Structure 1
Amino acid sequence: MSVQAPVVPDHDHFLRFIVDDKYSLYRRIAGVALLSLILTGGNTKQEFSDLTFFCLKMGGFLITLLLLYINIYVLIPKYLFRKKYIHYVIWVAVVIVLSFLVFAGLKEWLPSLRLKPGPVVKNEYLEDFISVVILLSILCAATMAIRLFQRWVKDGYRLTQLENIRMQTELDLLKSQVNPHFLFNMLNNSQVLIQTNPQKASEILIKLSDLLRYQLYDSSREKVLLSADIRFIAQLLTLEKVRRDYFDFNIEQEGTSRQLLIAPLLFVPFVENAVKHNIESVKGAFVELSFKLHEDVLIFKCRNSKAAGAIEMDPDQMGGLGLPNVQRRLELLFPDKHQLSIKDQNGVYEVHLILTL
């Protein structure tokens, strides 16, 4: 199973714009437009000609843009994302100081470009240094916050996707373990019946082929119709009835005609357990199943007879799969949406499972 790059859901338009690579050009355009608004300032005192003022503003804009690009594409990936925080702060400070020196150099050149002398300001360079540092620090912090947010969102979706893949792999493994061992017992019994009762052996093998076909092909899907899974269980119990002289079963259904999709072979371990521990040689052996679907709630019950005085069954070994594995599969498929109770008393073994779909 291949791991694909995380994709933000279509309905999260804002996150898609912020994170998705295909919108990177639009993000750059939006960033340039926003920076242009921030650096907007008029030549109100007409100290410079319009062309000179435009060139000065464009120079300041390009220097600021270069600083931000260095921060976004060099300093943040090289230092911040690698948790070299001190190195990152030092390099940001160095770049800001260098930017100020460039601005200061331009300012020394400005008097020769002025149309009229500007006002004399005390501590002019200190004020300029403070204003430049504050502005560039805010812009660097803003771009850093955006990059951290992008990384957080991408990592979150990547972890979610990896968790989904892990869960799906685990589910596939658990499902692959659902191999009713009595199907293989059927093959062994058929080998004996071929010599003693060929007609009965032929009937068993035909039914067994249908069961194995569903087991190998249909149940490989992520979900199947509930009615198909019930039909598989009915065929399985019918096959058991053909094999045994004293065995009976009943399947009660209510509301299952709905086209409901469900994980395949979900109930088979319980049915297998009922057959495995049923009475084979005494009259009155039975398995009773009930499937009741009410709106979004599915109630499953399984009852089977036990021999009087039989040793209490160990549910951890039920169905050849083990109760812990069955419970784990339920937890993955129906987290906080299932109730499972198992009773073993008075010659009857009973399973009660409620699923909120």
Structure 2
Amino acid sequence: MTNTFFKNIFSHRLSKHILYWVGLIIFFGITWGTYDNDYVRSFTIQTFGLPARMVLVYISIYMLIPKFLLKRKFISFIVSYLILLLVTSICIQRPIIYFYVEPIYFPSWNSEGYFTITELMNTILDVNIAAIIPLGFSFFKFYYNSQQRTLTLEKEKIETELIQLRNQVHPHFLFNTLNTLYALIIKKSNTAETAVLKLSKLMRYMLYEANTPKVSLVKEIEYLKNYIDLEKLRFEDSIDISFNSESDKDYQISPFLLIPFVENAFKHGTSSSKGSWIVINIFTKKRELILQVENSKFSDTNTDHDSVGGIGFNNVKKRLQLLYPDQYSLKIDDNELSYEVILKLNLTKNL
């Protein structure tokens, strides 16, 4: 019950403000009162200092901060605050001290004058000290909210870019698979029905199962297998395809992350003549995925491997960096006979 009482007090804005000003009076009243053990006088003087301090704090919080600081007009805020500090010190605090506090509570004090630089500076510092905590809190709140807005915008930007990058895979993939099916129909191949079934599984995965930020690695590998099976049907015996996968457990991975490298191998590793070969290995152990894709090269094929799966290596790397920052490595070995890509991916964040 006691905890609820104090919670209600501190949750109320007015109570917080009252507690702040009372706490300020008590703190400086005790601090200055220890010099002559006259705490009553010290508390009274601190109370007389409230008008100027409150004007400075509340105008700063409710006018200067929304008008300048929140709009990132930092220079305007600093200039306005200094002017306000000077005005409250000279026009509010200084008259109270000079005409009332000093004659009554310090009768033996010989003031050098109303506009004495030394006494004016002491007054300015005395007024400003009350604004340190409120302004410090406001600056922290502004910085925190600014950081949160930046993170939110960055997250939205990343999500938008990922959707765009992922959507670029679909048209190119559909174009390839339809070409595969068309080629089988032209040949009047008996495997056309199998190809349609494989294509339907691929489309079901793309439209329904992979419409999430993360998917099962097992399903992603099954998606690759179906794609490879379609390519096998298209090329029949003209290409030697080796596919191996092994995993110590099922992990979560971003969908369509591996297919561009496989598509790239079929695009650049096949030829009209026999002798084409593609090797695809996927191994996952202790949260690390290793994808190794290697294909043969021919002088009569397009060997511009800067384009991966039709979306470009730069986009593939960008997607990897957005999804797995500092969690991957991509190695490329391009020689006269073969082209090899090795992707290592840390799946720790995706458990």
TM-score normalized with structure 2 length: 0.78
Alignment pair present for 1:190 and 2:175: no
Match of 2:242 among 234, 237, 250: 250
Give 3-state SS (helix, strand or coil) of 2:210's partner. Answer: helix
CA distance in 2, matches of 1:250, 1:286: 8
Deviation of residue 107 (structure 1)?
A: 1.4
Of 137, 140, 145, the match for 2:128: 137
RMSD after superposition: 3.5
Counterpart mapping for 1:69-84 below 5 A: 69-79=58-68, 81-82=72-73, 83-84=75-76
Alpha-carbon displacement from aligned partner over 1:80-121 (angstroms, at most 9, x marks no partner) = 55231333311221122222155248717985xxxxx96432
1:286 partnered with 2:277: yes
Cα distance per residue 1:192-220 (max 9 Å; x no partner): 64476374322211110110121223222
Counterparts in 2 of 1:23 and 1:272: CA distance versus 1, 3 Å: farther
1:157 to 148, 163, 171: 148
Q: 1:234 aligns to what? A: 225
CA contact (8 A) 1:67 1:99 kept: no
**1:317 counterpart SS class:** coil
Supply the distance in 2 between the matched residues of 1:201 and 1:46 (Cα, whole angstroms): 98
Match of 2:339 in 1: 349
Task: For 1:294 and 1:141, locate their aligned partners in 2 and report how far apart those are by CA, in whole Å.
Answer: 55
Residue 331 (structure 1) shift: 2.1
Tell me which residue corresponds to 2:25.
36
1:243 Cα deviation from its structure 2 partner: 2.6
CA distance in 2 between counterparts of 1:347 and 1:243 reads 23
Q: CA deviation at 1:343?
A: 2.5
* Distance in structure 1 (CA, Å) of the matches to 2:39 and 2:317: 79
The equivalent residue for 2:309 is 319
Distance 1:183 1:104, change over 3 A: closer
Q: For 1:68 and 1:141, how far apart are their aligned partners in 2? A: 9
Post-superposition offset of 1:271: 0.4
SS of residue matched to 2:314: helix
Counterpart of 1:103, as a letter, is I
> Does residue 339 of the first structure (1) align with residue 323 of the second (2)?
no
8 Å contact 1:312–1:344 — kept in the other structure? Answer: no
CA contact (8 A) 1:47 1:118 kept: no
When residues 69 and 293 of structure 1 are mapped into structure 2, their CA distance, relative to the original with a 3 A threshold, is same
From 84, 95, 98, the equivalent of 2:88 is 95
- Equivalent residue letter for 1:349: Y
Does the C-alpha gap of structure 1 residues 68 and 189 become closer, same or farther in structure 2, counting only changes over 3 Å? closer
What is the alpha-carbon distance in structure 2 between the residues aligned to residue 163 and residue 45 of structure 1?
A: 57
Shift of 1:336: 3.0
Distance (whole Å) between structure 2 residues aligned to residue 172 and residue 330 of structure 1: 13
Partner Cα separation in structure 2 for residue 245 and residue 189 of structure 1: 11
Unpaired segments of 5 or more residues in structure 2? 1-10
Any residues of structure 2 matched to 1:104-123 within 5 Å, and which? 104=97, 107=100, 119-123=107-111
Displacement after TM superposition at 1:233 (Å): 0.3
Q: What are the superposed Cα offsets for residues 233-289 of structure 1, whole Å, 9 maximum, x if unpaired?
A: 0111111212332134332223x2423111111111110011122335444433221
Aligned to 1:340, what secondary structure does the other structure show? strand
1:75 touches 1:92 (CA, 8 Å); kept in 2? Answer: no
Name the counterpart of 1:13. Answer: none
Give distance in 2, aligned partners of 1:320 and 1:273. 8
Amino acid at match of 2:90: V
Equivalence for 2:8: none
2:165 pairs, out of 166, 174, 187, with 174
CA contact (8 A) 1:226 1:262 kept: yes
Could you tell me which residue of structure 2 aligns to residue 4 of structure 1? none
Give the 3-state SS of the residue equivalent to 2:203 in structure 1: helix
Q: Percent identity?
A: 31
Spell out the pairing of 1:272-283 with structure 2 (5 A cutoff).
272-279=263-270, 281-283=272-274
34-43 or 239-248, which moves further after superposition? 34-43
1:190/1:205 contact within 8 Å kept: yes
**2:261 touches 2:308 (CA, 8 Å); kept in 1?**
yes
Shift in Å at residue 299 of structure 1?
A: 1.4
How many Å apart are 1:302 and its aligned residue?
Answer: 0.6
Q: Could you tell me whether the CA contact under 8 Å between 2:329 and 2:343 is conserved in 1?
A: yes
| Residues 123 and 289 of structure 1: CA distance in aligned 2, closer, same or farther (over 3 Å) | same
How many equivalent pairs are there?
A: 325
> Aligned with 1:238: secondary structure?
helix
Structure 2 matches for 1:216-231, cutoff 5 A? 216-231=207-222
The alpha carbon displacement at 1:182 in A equals: 5.3
